Structure 1
Amino acid sequence: MRRAVQGIGGTFAVLLLSCATTPPAFALPPPNRELYWFSWWELQEKVWPLADGRGVTVALVDDDGPNKALADFRGAHILPVVNPGARDKKPVKIYHDDPDHGNGMASLIVGQGHGTGMVGVAPKAKLLPIVNQHISYLGTAEDIRYATDHGAKVINMSIGWPTERPCPEELQQAVDYAVEKDVVLVASAGNESRVAAWQSWPANCAGVVAVGGLNGQVKPWWKTTPGRYVAVAAPADQISDINHQGELKSGSAGTSAAAALTSGVVALIRSRYPKMPAREVVQRLLATAKDTGPKGWDDMTGYGLVRPYRAIVDKVPSNAPNPVYDRVPGYKHPGPKIKQPITPEAERGKVMPAPDSETSLVWVIAASLTGVIATAMACFRVHKRGHKDHAA
């Protein structure tokens, strides 16, 4: 009996070794060293083994779209650029005074790194680029409804208008529509610093995750626009992304990047927990943020730096603060509560009791055989998926 167990154990070990030498589910080039948030967030080491964005559509609302022909987008799932406000059916032309903005935001979310090493936070997410070349709050409202009706689970809005007015009614109604459809909306807080009483549309709309900016020292970026509605913060200074020619642009700054990176993090959470309601996704994002400004919430960085790994593995109390959704009048929680996830640390702590009889040995053998079969199937899936991604 012991020899049988040892034989099964040896077979199991061989299968595990073969998996260890198999290419991972997806292999991307190392990110460019200028992308310092990769070391902050340990995306490759800790996050991507749990979630990489697959299964989630991120809508990118901007005034231009990405150049899908670039090497850094090779293998990315980017849908055709659309313009919901267009009065005709002609293909969307990409032109603007700043023609690289949408391209850069796309690279922060779904970049593949095959050209400059520009790797996105959620490289396996699907990107829906929505262009409004004469961007306005009415156009953005239409874009939000289009994205919601076409499968987006995250809407990134690295756009904004300095204003002293509250969110326009038409825009707020579009946000309400997306919230009711279980979509997470993310917007940049703005780059006006503390100028008068300025705030920013659509960041100040109820139900939107407004993202402030941080510098490379994890301190508030000096130009980030404060507001009572700011929820979290992300890198906004010394940002690198790519232009429409596929060249790496270094040293730029703005909360546009902070919003795009946060949208990528939200895509990771939704990829890990596809049945988790948007309200709980946002609650998890806020509860696991790292305090970065004055102690507690502050009007420049909100609850602090978003942390994807902590947002995925930590247990978050059901009564944790969620001011983003508390501001939505009459919002009702969609569906049942989701069970708190088990952390990888807890999973590793589980052990099988030692067998104390021949009957127990039989069960060990059965369990080992099940493990062998499961491992073989996993290896097959890994080989198959790795081959597919390599071909892409």
Structure 2
Amino acid sequence: MRRLIQAAAVTAAFGIVLGQTPFALAAHDKGEWWFNSWHIEEQVWPQTKGAGITVAVLDTGVNASLPGLKDAVVPGTDFAGGDGRRDQDTDSSTGGHGTAMASFIASSGKGTGYMGVAPSAKILPIFTRGNVPKEMAEAIRYGADHGAKVMNISQGPVASSFPNQCPPEVASALAYAAKKDMVVVASAGNEGDSTNSPEYPASCPGALAVGAIDHTGKPWARSQRQDYVTVAAPGAGMTAVGKDGRLYDNGNGTSDAAALTSGAIALLRSKYPDMTARRAVQVIVGSVKDLDGPGKNNVTGYGVVSVRQALANKVPESAPNPVYEKLDKAGAAAPKGSGSTGTAPEKTDDKKSSSNTLLYVGIGVVVIAVLVIGGVVVMRRGKGKNGGGPSAPPPAPTGPPSFGQGQPQQSPYQGGQQPPAGYGQPGNGAPQFQPPTSGQEPRQ
């Protein structure tokens, strides 16, 4: 809090009236300056607090025992070979990445006084290692199948080596999520001032990619500069709840911005329960504040998320919807049928198909003839042994059919191990939470 107060004093010294700046530093008692910027307490919460909406948090898990989160967290799961439920935060860092993201979204304020922007929403924690496409794809599908209306993915592995900068299985999962009416929000990345590599799933069709701004409305220096960035949200000079239940300040990252955007969408879909995922994204993008110059750019996208304007729901139905337009253009349409891959069936050659059909019919005729002849022989034998009585029924099957079975793949991850060393470090959308400086007690 001391750092925030000092920053406010410096701003005032330069003659800027805080109440008139677009994203002024608020004197919130827990350092949550975005509450003032987004008019959360006085204009948003009277309309909605996120009730009825589940936000899936694909991350390091969430410490569900904390007073501010225990009522929000519902049983989650683990796609990295652990215990199948993630009500604990496995992050090896002091802060606890997944818990921090959940606190931005739905902390109730119990224990610390720290509030999420959608404190009545639920959190579905899903644990993956963050850099395994198969796990991420499974996690996205899991969230979509378990009632989540929003999924927050504050992770960002490098996407350069994949076709179209997106692992195919992740692209397919995002298409599945769209069909299941779940918005997927992803952090843009934290290396905009250095390598600036594209990162997935932000780079994938169907993901709402979020960059970060500071309390003055300016882009955070390290926020990724990529054409996939769609919107921006608060992500610099942040305070959040750590996995140990303490408050940590001076956090920076597009992870934070993505989490707050997920919370904003939870508020929107709570107020309008019948609003589709496609429409929700259209409204969020169409109601932004353009604080970084006219038109779209690669840092803040189309502009900064405005919760108040989004809740007004005045964006025309004909307004652009770049996230879903990209999804449609990429051909990642909603999956057909009930297959788990989310991809359309392969097209077959008509001539080959006709030939194969005739071949199968011919084989079928031969098989039927053999069965009929064999049946006559069996009946004759049966009459000779049983005096015309019915033959004995065939033995019951003793095991699973031989088709469609395979050996389960063993995960290289074993319970108790930690994610790779790079997880939670600058460059993958993770905030850099700093413990209180020497001589200072963490704020309670």
Q: Which residue does the alignment assign to 1:98?
A: 93
Report the count of equivalent residues: 302
| 2:188 corresponds to | 189
SS at 2:77 equivalent: coil
Contact 1:202 1:208 survives alignment (8 Å) = yes
Structure 2 residue matching 1:59: 3-state secondary structure: strand
Counting only pairs closer than 5 Å after superposition, residues 346-385 of structure 1 correspond to structure 2 as none
Q: How does 1:31-70 map onto structure 2 within 5 Å?
A: 32-62=29-59, 64-70=60-66
Deviation for aligned residue 1:160: 0.7
Q: Secondary structure at the match of 2:314?
A: coil
Say whether 1:107 aligns with 2:103: yes
Query: Is the counterpart of residue 269 in structure 1 residue 268 in structure 2?
Result: yes
SS at match of 2:257: helix
Take 2:258 and 2:44, find their aligned partners in 1: how far apart are those partners?
A: 19
Give the alignment's TM-score, normalised by structure 1: 0.73
Question: 140, 144, 148: which one pairs with 1:144?
Answer: 140
Q: Aligned partners of 2:77 and 2:85: how far apart in 1?
A: 10
Q: What is the CA-CA distance between 1:114 and the residue it aligns to?
A: 2.0
Match of 1:162 among 139, 158, 163: 158
Alpha carbons 1:32, 1:116 under 8 Å: kept:
no
* Counterparts in 2 of 1:203 and 1:191: CA distance versus 1, 3 Å: same
Q: Report deviation, 1:98.
A: 2.6
Give the direction of change, closer, same or farther, for the CA distance of 1:136–1:249 in structure 2 (3 Å limit).
same
Show the 5 A alignment for 1:16-35: 32-35=29-32
Amino acid at match of 2:123: L
In the TM superposition, residue 73 of structure 1 has moved relative to its aligned partner by 2.4
Residues 92 and 48 of structure 1: is their aligned pair in 2 closer, same or farther, counting only changes over 3 Å?
Answer: closer
Give yes or no for contact 1:83–1:92 (8 Å, CA) kept in 2.
no
- Equivalent AA in structure 1 for residue 40 of structure 2: L
Distance in 2, matches of 1:67 and 1:31, equals 25
Secondary structure of 1:161's counterpart equals coil
Distance verdict in 2 for CA 1:229–1:114, change over 3 Å? same
SS at 2:68 equivalent: helix
Cα deviation for residue 191 of structure 1 reads 0.1
Residue in structure 2 matched with residue 254 of structure 1 by the alignment = 253
Q: Which residue in 1 is equivalent to 2:114?
A: 118
CA distance in 2, matches of 1:192, 1:132: 22
Q: Secondary structure in 2 aligned to 1:327?
A: helix
The residue identity in structure 2 corresponding to 1:136 is V
Task: Give the aligned partner of residue 82 of structure 1.
Answer: 77
Q: Deviations over 1:187-235 (max 9, x none)?
A: 0000001445611111011010000000111111110001111111011
How far apart are the structure 2 equivalents of 1:328 and 1:134?
Answer: 22
Query: Measured at CA, do residues 244 and 88 of structure 1 come closer, stay the same or move farther in structure 2, by a change above 3 Å?
Result: closer
**Rg larger in 1 or in 2?**
2
Output the CA distance in 2 between the equivalents of 1:167 and 1:191.
18
Q: How far is the alpha carbon of 1:239 from its aligned partner?
A: 0.5
Are the equivalent residues in 1 in contact too, given 2:190–2:253 (CA < 8 A)?
yes
> 2: CA distance between counterparts of 1:93 and 1:42?
32
Residues 44-70 of structure 1 show CA distances to partners (whole Å, capped at 9, x for unaligned) of 1111111111111100000x2222222
Single out whichever of 151-160 and 312-321 deviates more from structure 2.
312-321
Matched, 1:208 2:204: no
What is the 5 A alignment of 1:188-337? 188-196=187-195, 198-329=197-328, 330=331
**Percent same amino acid among aligned pairs?**
41
Give yes or no for contact 2:290–2:304 (8 Å, CA) kept in 1.
Answer: yes
- In 2, are the aligned partners of 1:209 and 1:231 still within 8 Å (CA)? yes
Summarize the Cα distance change of 1:331–1:140 in structure 2 as closer, same or farther, 3 Å threshold. closer
Name 1:339's counterpart in structure 2: none
Match of 1:17 in 2: none
Q: Distance in 2 between matches of 1:263 and 1:91?
A: 20
Contact 2:130 2:136 in 1 (8 A): no
Return closer, same or farther for 1:32/1:111 CA change in 2, 3 Å cut-off.
Answer: farther
**Cα-to-partner distance string for 1:123-160 (whole Å, 9 max, x where unaligned):** 10111000114642221111001111111110000111
